[in-house]
Amino acid sequence: MITALSGDTSRLRATVGFVKEQDTATLLQLLLPGLDGPELRALAERCDFSHAALLVFPPDEAALSATLAACGLEADAPPRPSVIVRERLAVRHKRSAAELDVGILRPAVECLDGARRMVEVFALTVPPGSDLDSVAAHEREQQHETHVAFEVATPDPLVLRGLCAAFGRYGASPDGGGYNPHENGTVFYFSAPAEAKAAGYRRVELYVPGDHRDVLAAHLDEHRRRQPAETLLRLLTGAWTTQALAAFARLGVADAMDEERAVGVDELARDIGASAPNLATLLRYLAMLGVVGEDRDGFRLTDTGGLLRTDAEGSMRALALMYGGPFYESFAGLDHTVRTGQVAFEQRFGENHFDHFARDPELAELFDRSMAAGSRMFDPLPVHPVLTAAAEGDTVVDIAGGNGELLGRILSAHPRLHGILLERPHTVETARRLLGAAGHAERCAFRAGDFADVPAGGDVYVLSRVLHDWDDDRCVEILRHCARAMPPAADLLVVERVLPADGSASLATAWDLHMMCNVGGRERSADHYARLFADAGLTLVGVSALPLDGSVLHVRRTGATNTGSKP
């Protein structure tokens, strides 16, 4: 028994350490690999990491208190009965629930991020000589009741269904749950996907204050009868989400809402000129996805939905309109692309997307704004060692730099540097206007042209989200233009989404499909890019991660691969 109690103490200490080190967003990413960006923020808004749990087996209440004290924990109340764990143990070990004395304690822990969380201790009393020793031995080995828990901030049925659906989209599967009348709380259990990176924690709990057995019933039904057809059906509705977000943006709903005050549907419908019942249906769907929140006063924007406002910093409204517009239409021809190798966009619109957008000024502007909508990828780039090491008066050449979003960030971060932006004529004028408004006009030159016109003599060259537009032969041609223009000591920074070598979930894999269908390009692995660079007389020096599953590949001319500052 001394050994067993010692084992419980060491397990409890490890759990305390785990709770201290985690925060909500980090833990969600560990449990649900691939979760990132807006959906991560939406989940983190809806639920908070509250505790980690384990089951211990004290002979009596005094021994339990001693174990807690040895781990620096103090219970502020006597144990309360645990209905859910007691019933799970009874089923698992074919015992009567009445003979299982299971209590719950939730001592508090001060965490490294300043939050106050808990360790949830389930205690099955195992008196000396009890025939429950075999139960304790099995549970210590299997750790069935070890889990991490998130408390739902807004216990609304739509929110709960949306959270359950989001967990399912990232590989978590329903694993039971129940209602505890002793504390008036509802628990939803999930099994984490096999690729989860939270070592030792395979079960996830959503804890919801109050009685939500109506929503729980559907969760338990899915746990009992989950079929591949249900998974497929959820996947098939992805197109509905794209169009719901595009309609939300196109109708200007986000612009008529804010994040501080809830707005009633009737008022909102009048403001945007929409049918109130139909708008309510759209908003309820978007509430399930975390784009809007709902309370008794109406609907309000979440941080995620706020990105669809026209005036939002880092607005993604143009991206929603583009993905719900031309690119959505062309995706209907994905099977044509897979079958023939031809680009579906060109089949649908009769020309490639660059020419199609260039002929329509409004569409061209939308495309440029949609490219800028992913600008969060650029956040760390201005502090890349190549740029921080650049000397006074060095020139950064942004090749096909769009409206100047990235070059503007670099020039703002480094007032000692100058810039040259190379782009198509109509886009150059937009960039000239925007960079001038940002105060960079005197330090920036503008060149209208193609890849053959890459300016020579620069110190740092940038190719951001360009190479993925083209096949390998065209990429090598573009890179050779860069290599010819680059002095021996110049650096080239290539920004792309890089396909993971291990096949793990990544936005790059999704964009690979998009590029194939709509542009005729592709995403590539780092090794693939290295081969293209070598064919152009360049050498890959290093790869650094960027937000939104982006990467920056540092490239130099072959034979000049030192990574230090230039002489």
Tell which phi-psi region holds residue 475, choosing left (phi > 0), alpha (psi between -120 and 50) or beta.
Answer: alpha
Give pLDDT tens digits for 312-349.
Answer: 888 999 999 999 999 999 999 999 999 999 999 999 99
Tell me what the pLDDT averaged over the chain comes to. 89
Give pLDDT tens digits for 81-97.
Answer: 887 788 889 888 888 77
pLDDT of residue 466: 95
pLDDT of residue 35: 87
For residues 153 and 485, which has the higher predicted lDDT (pLDDT)? 485
Confidence of residue 537 (pLDDT cuts 50, 70, 90): very high
Is 468 annotated as catalytic?
yes
Average pLDDT over residues 134-148: 89
> pTM value?
0.61
Average pLDDT over residues 279-305: 86
Confidence of residue 562 (pLDDT cuts 50, 70, 90): low
pLDDT of residue 420: 97
Structure token pair of residue 507: 């936005």
Tell which phi-psi region holds residue 303, choosing left (phi > 0), alpha (psi between -120 and 50) or beta.
Answer: alpha
Q: Which of 422-436, 471-485, 526-540 has the lowest mean pLDDT?
A: 422-436
CATH of 2-232, one of 3.40.50.300, 3.10.180.10, 1.10.287.3510, 3.10.20.740: 3.10.180.10
Helix (H) / strand (E) containing 337? helix 334-340
End-to-end CA separation in angstroms for the chain: 70
Structure token pair of residue 326: 């031309």
pLDDT of residue 50: 93
pLDDT of residue 6: 64
**Which residue from 59, 65, 234, 49 is spatially nearest to 149, judged by alpha carbons?**
49
Average pLDDT over residues 268-291: 91
Q: Which CATH class is domain 375-557?
A: alpha beta
pLDDT of residue 56: 94
- Show me where the domains of the chain are located: 2-232, 237-312, 327-372, 375-557
Confidence of residue 564 (pLDDT cuts 50, 70, 90): very low
- In the DSSP assignment, the letter for residue 207 is E
Tell me the longest C-alpha to C-alpha distance in the chain: 87
Q: Are 201 and 147 in contact (CB under 8 A)?
A: yes
pLDDT of residue 399: 97
pLDDT of residue 492: 98
Confidence of residue 194 (pLDDT cuts 50, 70, 90): confident
% the chain with pLDDT above 90 = 57
Q: Is it the case that residue 386 has pLDDT exceeding 80? A: yes
Q: Of residues 51, 219, 356, 468, which has the active-site annotation?
A: 468
Q: Where are the alpha helices (DSSP H) in 145-257?
A: 157-169, 213-225, 228-236, 238-250
Q: Is it the case that residue 566 has pLDDT exceeding 50? A: no
For CA atoms 151, 154, 157, 163, give the dihedral sign. Answer: negative
Confidence of residue 233 (pLDDT cuts 50, 70, 90): confident
Give pLDDT tens digits for 72-83.
Answer: 998 878 888 887
Distance between CA atoms of 450 and 158, rounded to whole angstroms?
51
Q: Are 462 and 490 in contact (CB under 8 A)?
A: no
pLDDT of residue 495: 96
% the chain with pLDDT above 70 = 95
pLDDT of residue 228: 65
CATH 1.20.120.1200 assigned to domain 237-312? The reply is no
Q: Are 67 and 5 in contact (CB under 8 A)?
A: yes
